[in-house]
Amino acid sequence: MKKGIELSLNEYEALLNKAAVGSGLPWGIAEDAAACGAWFMSCGVNKLNTWIDRLKDNSFWIDYCKKIDQPSSNKLNNIFDLAASVYVQPDTKVKLDSYEWNGWELIIDGVKQTTSFRACLSETQFKILNELAQKTYAPATDESRLSGAGAGLSDND
Amino acid sequence: MRLDRMGSMHQSRLSFLRQFLRRAAKENWKFNRDLFEINVNGVGRALYRLSTPLRDYTLICFSHDLPDEMRSDRVIASAWDATFTLYDGRPTLDDLERLEKHVPYQEEGRLTQNELCLSRANRSVRLWDYVLDCLSNGNQPDLDRVRDVGYLMRTTAVYGSGKFGSADRRVVENREEANSPFQLEMMTVYLIRTFVMDLIEHLAKIKNPGSAVKLDSTIRRSFGVGNSTGLGMAPFLVNHPRLIHNWFEAKENAIATVKNLKTATQTEISKFKELVTRLKPHLKAWRSEHPIQIEKNLALEEDIEKLETKLENFSFSIGSPWRLLCDWSEDELSIEGQEMLNSLILEPYGHLVDTFGDEMSCDEAKLFAINGDVTIANVKSTIEQNYGWALEIDWADPNCDARAWYTSEEKLEPRLGERYEMPELNEYEQALQPGRDVARAYKDLCELEPSTTIADFLRTYPKHRHIIRRCLTCGELPFSEIRDNTINSSMLPIDMLRAKLSFFGACHFDPRSDRWVRINMFKGAPFPDELSSGSDPENWIWAP
């Protein structure tokens, strides 16, 4: 295992989703932001720090979602725009700077990227994402504990 | 899909454990116990391997000595009687050393892409010591007492699909044996059942080497694996509308196929009637102390008698007999009884309905994109068609939005709180109330011109994006939505749990509260060695 943190891609996308909600993005926008971040990771696009920075900017993600919803409004200026074209419509073919999506895989600087189902991130990145995700969890209280399944019942039978 | 019907569903030929056993028998999977090192205190490890024609899977078992006071089925527990992982292939000793540092700690540990599932189980205090004493003294346990509980251990979680670092579903989804939903989870539970039987016989032998006996094969079969399921399953049903649609559609298609048959053969009729006769002993052994389930089981008992009486004079030679029988049940039987009949009529028709099981998995990226060019008028029309039930609810009534779904920071346990008693929960609420959210979105949709595109609407109202996506998805997939209020003061989460568990193949539903249910899996099913020796993978269902 590489130094740092390794997650399954599913686990990573769920963490990104919670981090996005914890940052204040609406639920539906967070779903698309997380899908975008997971797509970056699966295709070898090293943009997690940028993705995290963007969480501070609701309007960025609202514009991003508009590009997904109406592809004709999507003028490709950066890798996020390319992601907006591709991850919901993977049979699209697009080129942008050093990136090329040929309809099924990403090519970066002429090198085909192998799709990965693992996410590798630094401990710092993991910590930041978890701190944001933590904002979506309710504090542990006695009252809250009573609203979980199995509360107040004997398990020894 | 209404909650009361979902809360009355039963296992069927399409259930995931039935699909698993059917494939294992058909492909003649080989079974082997590669390791069994358990000491006098029941502590140690064991390996159980299933070999398909193409690959091996190994259940790695860690057995522990758990003090009674630490035993808890809740997510917030931190220790268990036994812990497990399903390994992709055959683990090396290094793998075992690595996993011994993680698997016993469950959610606190980390897995790799070589591991497919993570699980744990607790002993039944009602049965464990009793069966151990019987066997060590050379006696067989009393069958009625065994049937009262039905298991020696119950799992309290079976995690897969990338949880805690394990392999993503996408790693295995193209393998035939793993393509249908939850097949590897079913394999995990099935092998746990065998381990538990071996463990109790092993400990009985250690306790009294001179006189201990093994379980009689009939009694052995009477043990399934118990399971305690809490609130985590309810969000799953809401969060996977595309997948859930495929499950319900497959079952509906199977039922429709049988109902459309013009006649039934004598063999098919006999098979059906034989299963009906099994229901009474099955129901007798289906114990529950929950007032709702007690009432439902009493009604089901009456339903079975009504069905038997009906069958005495029922002619299967007139047109579409199964349709006539189902139509009759809708007037005469409780919902439990109707759902039981829906499952029963599939049994004689494996050759017609089993292939529907191949259509129950799903590419969840499908219908994820929102077509932004759709107009508000179109979206409103879709909502009116599919969510009329939600628009009719008076959301200003505190009973209608009484609850809030949230996750606690305490081991991320899913919880359901009373919103008006704990107003701070509003801040942590999750998107698990489509009815309320669609009503809110609809109100705002009415504020803009009907010709406005939904992309422009969502730019103005980004908070509605999740529910608009859902409405557009569910408009295409009629079985994707629970058409009931998931935050009503009287909503029973156990109804949602039961629907999912019935698709797993569970029986003996025993709600312990409104949000927690115990069930049994594989009770009566052949063990792996029996399956390899030609035991019927199907004809054990509705075992008492």
- Residues B185 and B166: their CA atoms lie apart, in Å, by 12
| Cβ–Cβ under 8 Å, residues B435 and B486 | yes
Q: pLDDT value at position B138?
A: 98
The predicted-structure confidence for A110-150, as pLDDT tens digits, reads as follows 999 999 999 999 999 999 999 999 999 999 888 878 777 66
Report chain A residues touching chain B, CB-CB < 8 A.
1, 6-11, 26-29, 31-32, 35, 58, 62, 65-66, 68-70, 73, 88-89, 117-118, 134, 136-140, 143-145, 147-151, 153, 155-157
Cβ-defined contact of A28 to B453 (cutoff 8 Å): no
B94 Cβ under 8 Å from any chain A Cβ: no
- Residues B316 and B298: their CA atoms lie apart, in Å, by 28
In angstroms, the separation between the Cα of residue A47 and the nearest Cα of chain B is 22
Residues near B449 by beta carbon (within 8 Å), at least 6 away in sequence? B376
* B525 backbone dihedrals φ, ψ, rounded to 5°: -75, 150
Q: Using CB atoms, which residue from B167, B230, B431 is nearest to A149?
A: B230
Q: Collapsing DSSP states into helix, strand and coil, what is residue B327?
A: helix
Q: Using CB atoms, which residue from A65, A66, A149 is nearest to B231?
A: A149
Segments of chain A assigned E as strands: 5-8, 94-96, 99-101, 106-108, 111-112, 118-121, 137-138
**Polymer length of chain A:** 157
| Cβ–Cβ under 8 Å, residues B259 and B324 | no
Q: pLDDT value at position B544?
A: 82
**Polymer length of chain B:** 544
The predicted-structure confidence for B38-89, as pLDDT tens digits, reads as follows 999 999 999 999 999 999 999 999 999 999 888 888 888 889 999 999 999 9
- The label of the residue with tokens 């295995």 reads B172
Residues near B531 by beta carbon (within 8 Å), at least 6 away in sequence? B21, B24, B25, B29, B31, B537
Cβ-defined contact of B365 to A88 (cutoff 8 Å): yes
Q: What is the dihedral of CA B396, B398, B401, B403, to 10 degrees?
A: 160
Q: pLDDT value at position B318?
A: 84
The predicted-structure confidence for B475-502, as pLDDT tens digits, reads as follows 889 999 999 999 999 999 999 999 999 9
Report in angstroms the alpha-carbon separations of A73 from A55, A103, B373.
Answer: 22, 20, 11
In angstroms, the separation between the Cα of residue A111 and the nearest Cα of chain B is 23
Report in angstroms the alpha-carbon separations of B152 from B266, B292, B344, B503.
Answer: 40, 26, 28, 23
Q: Using CB atoms, which residue from B415, B424, B465 is nearest to A29?
A: B465
Taking 3-state DSSP, the helix, strand and coil percentages for chain A, each rounded to the nearest 5, stand at 50, 15, 35
Q: What is the ipTM of this complex?
A: 0.95
Q: Cβ–Cβ contacts within 10 Å for residue B466, how many?
A: 20
Q: CB contacts < 8 Å between A and B, how many?
A: 169
The strand pairing partners of B155, in sequence order, are B121, B227
Cβ-defined contact of A148 to B75 (cutoff 8 Å): yes
| Cβ–Cβ under 8 Å, residues B180 and A27 | no
Amino acid (one-letter) located at B21: L
Given the DSSP bridges, would you call strands B115-123 and B82-88 parallel, antiparallel or unpaired? Answer: antiparallel
- Residues B425 and B430: their CA atoms lie apart, in Å, by 10
- Residues B77 and B410: their CA atoms lie apart, in Å, by 10
Residue of B nearest to A90 (CA): B365
- The label of the residue with tokens 């099913």 reads B525
- Residues B520 and B125: their CA atoms lie apart, in Å, by 16
- Residues A83 and B223: their CA atoms lie apart, in Å, by 51
Q: pLDDT value at position A1?
A: 43
Helices and strands (DSSP H and E) totals, chain A: 7, 7
| Cβ–Cβ under 8 Å, residues A40 and A54 | no
Q: Using CB atoms, which residue from B166, B371, B409 is nearest to A8?
A: B166
Residues near A65 by beta carbon (within 8 Å), at least 6 away in sequence? A28, A29, A32, B458, B462, B465
Among residues B517, B508, B479, the alpha carbon closest in space to that of B10 is found at B508
Residue of A nearest to B460 (CA): A62
Among residues B402, B484, B293, the alpha carbon closest in space to that of A147 is found at B402
The predicted-structure confidence for B530-542, as pLDDT tens digits, reads as follows 998 999 999 999 9
Give the torsion sign (CA, B434, B436, B442, B445): negative
Q: In what order do the strands lie in the sheet with B151-159?
A: B30-38, B44-51, B56-63, B82-88, B115-123, B151-159, B224-229, B516-521, B507-513
In angstroms, the separation between the Cα of residue A154 and the nearest Cα of chain B is 8
- Residues B31 and B25: their CA atoms lie apart, in Å, by 11
DSSP H helices in B208-240 = 217-221, 233-239
CATH 3.40.50 fits A5-137, yes or no: no
Q: pLDDT value at position B283?
A: 93
The predicted-structure confidence for B417-450, as pLDDT tens digits, reads as follows 999 999 999 999 999 999 999 999 999 999 999 9
* B509 backbone dihedrals φ, ψ, rounded to 5°: -65, 125
Given the DSSP bridges, would you call strands A137-138 and B403-408 parallel, antiparallel or unpaired? Answer: parallel
Angle at B167 between CA B175 and CA B172, to 5 degrees: 5
| Cβ–Cβ under 8 Å, residues A55 and A25 | yes
Q: What is the 3-state secondary structure (H, E, C) of B90-153?
A: CCCHHHHHHHHCCHHHHHHCCCCCCEEEEEEEEECCCCHHHHHHHHHCCCCCCHHHHHHHCEEE
Q: Which of A17, A89, A147 to mutate to test the interface with B (most CBs of B within 10 A)?
A: A147
Residues of chain B with pLDDT under 50: none
What are the extents of the domains in chain A?
Answer: 5-137
Among residues B345, B478, B517, B497, the alpha carbon closest in space to that of B7 is found at B497
- Residues B94 and B116: their CA atoms lie apart, in Å, by 17
Q: pLDDT value at position A157?
A: 63
Q: Which residues of B73-109 are buried (b: 16+ CB within 10 A; e: fewer)?
A: bbbbbebbbbbbbbbbeebeeebbebbeebbbebbeb
